[in-house]
Amino acid sequence: MEHQSSPTPHVLIFPLPLQGHVTPMLNLAELFCLANLKVTFLNTTHNHKRLTRYTNTEARFACYPGFRFKTVHDGLPDDHPRAGASNVKGWLKEMIQALASNGKSLLREILVGEKETEKVTCLVTDGWMSFANEVANEADVPVIAFRCPSACCNWTYFCIPKLIDAGEVPFKDDEEMDQLVKNAPGMDSFLRYRDLPSFCRNQDISSCRDLQDLFTGEIQRNQQAHSFILNTFVDLEGPILSLISSHCSKVYSIGPLHAHLKYRLGQNDDITLSNNSTSSLWEVDRSCISWLDLKPDKSVVYVSFGSLTILTKDQLMEFWAGLVQSKKYFLWVIRPNLIIGNDQDTQAQDGLLEGTKERGYMVGWVPQEEVLAHRAVGGFLTHSGWNSTLESIVAGVPMLCWPYFADQQVNSRFVSEVWRIGLDMKDTCDRTIVENMINDLMERKKDELERSMDRISHLAKRSISEGGSSYSNLNHLIEEIKLMSK
């Protein structure tokens, strides 16, 4: 009997078009390419232009013959900042709706494929875009949901409908904020109201339900997916992963993805590892590396609030003053559209600029992984975005957390209270507190934070190395996808 070889599995990857989603999903795409899977990566036209302009992404994937990009319009006007706008939730919802109406027919075309060999084996879709799951269901293509936030945040999102029913959410932004949340299994001994996602605060019940639908409704809708991918590792979030597994089909924790990709590229002699390979949607300013080169070991605080956070002028001034008063060196990412509002206090600003010249360096966007890995960086003042948290863990840099929204409130509580690899400065923005907490991070609590961070950083690296949990989970996931194509 003639032996028929099974077709090469073909994965369609569709991220929510935000920096914190595109980066890990491109890393996943490359991991699939290394396993000889065919991959189609669906970008928005806008993001694709930015990636092409600011990075070597096209060259990075040119060595994989089974890889291709496709693009779809995101439905926002060309001059929309797509980050840092004050009404993030408004335009995010608008963008997801526009993507749903622009993207469905293209999705259908790609899923079915013009030729039999192009037919898609499975759709790996961002857990935020369940409309894509509907199209895949119609085309009889299995869906794997990629959930970008931490497992602890995903689990919190799972719990929120129950918290609303129990009357615990929404709650008022007052003295009750430090009480423990009652209906949060696995977290009720340390999770306070103030650690819940910011949309749980000060809303009337109907606005809260509306936001809950945007942030957590998707996770409920994703429960029908074939499986879940999480960018985390068992040694970090094992107990929470077990809770999630009891509600979902299969859960593959395969992170930290950026480190996992580097490890597997290192194992592959055919691919040259490029140090400058980023997925940045902003132009990277590398001058910060030469500035860091001149600083003593672990002497610099790296400050970045990610791609979406916005600061008022007042908040900017408080951080600035705290940093200058701490007398530490600091490297601060001032992204375009980071700051909103006006402040007349130009004199104070000039005074601060003086202090900044001696110790500070500001840039628009940095190669963050490289910065965190630099020997001169000793601490990270962060908004607790999940990618930034994982990158800090892998680099072994303790954090001072100032969470802004969504998953960040939960992440910062786990960082400070559960993993003990950083300090939590949520809900306050005062120059004296900033100064004191930076000194705690860089001096007074430095040794204890570094001890826990070294341990967790080691576990992260072990998990993505051959035989580690994330390494094995990724192999199982790839096997599962291969079985789907048979």
Active site residue ranges: 21, 126
Q: Does 253 bind ligand UDP (CB under 6 A)?
A: no
Q: Does 20 bind ligand UDP (CB under 6 A)?
A: yes
Q: Does 422 bind ligand UDP (CB under 6 A)?
A: no
CA distances from 176 to 171, 180, 192, 225, 405 (A): 8, 9, 9, 37, 19
44 forms beta bridges with 72
Amino acid of residue 178: D
The answer to whether the beta carbons of residues 420 and 449 sit under 8 Å apart is: yes
d(CA 186, CA 168): 17
Among residues 304, 326, 469, 470, which is the contact residue for ligand UDP, using CB under 6 A? 304
Q: Does 468 bind ligand UDP (CB under 6 A)?
A: no
329 forms beta bridges with 300
Binding span for ligand UDP by CB under 6 A among 90-98, 207-215, 386-394, 473-481: 386-394
Residue 168 vs 195, nearer CB to ligand UDP = 195
Q: Does 385 bind ligand UDP (CB under 6 A)?
A: yes
Burial of 271 (0-12, 13-18, 19+ CB in 10 A): middle
The answer to whether the beta carbons of residues 424 and 413 sit under 8 Å apart is: yes
Binding span for ligand UDP by CB under 6 A among 6-14, 159-167, 366-374, 444-452: 366-374
Q: Does 380 bind ligand UDP (CB under 6 A)?
A: no
Residue window 328-347: x/- pattern of binding to ligand UDP, with contact defined by CB under 6 A: -----x--------------
Q: Does 16 bind ligand UDP (CB under 6 A)?
A: no
Residue window 125-144: x/- pattern of binding to ligand UDP, with contact defined by CB under 6 A: --------------------
CB of 310 to ligand UDP, least distance (A): 11
Report which of 422, 415, 369 is spatially closest to residue 395, judged by C-alpha positions: 369
d(CA 160, CA 149): 15
Residue 218 vs 391, nearer CB to ligand UDP = 391
Q: Does 365 bind ligand UDP (CB under 6 A)?
A: yes
Instruction: Round to the nearest angstrom and report the end-to-end CA distance of the chain.
Output: 18
192 forms beta bridges with 180
Q: Does 280 bind ligand UDP (CB under 6 A)?
A: yes
Among residues 44, 387, 409, 470, which is the contact residue for ligand UDP, using CB under 6 A? 387
Report which of 184, 142, 187, 132 is spatially closest to residue 162, judged by C-alpha positions: 184
The answer to whether the beta carbons of residues 24 and 52 sit under 8 Å apart is: no
Contacting residues toward ligand UDP, per CB under 6 A: 19-20, 23, 278, 280, 304, 306-308, 333, 365-366, 368-369, 385-388, 391
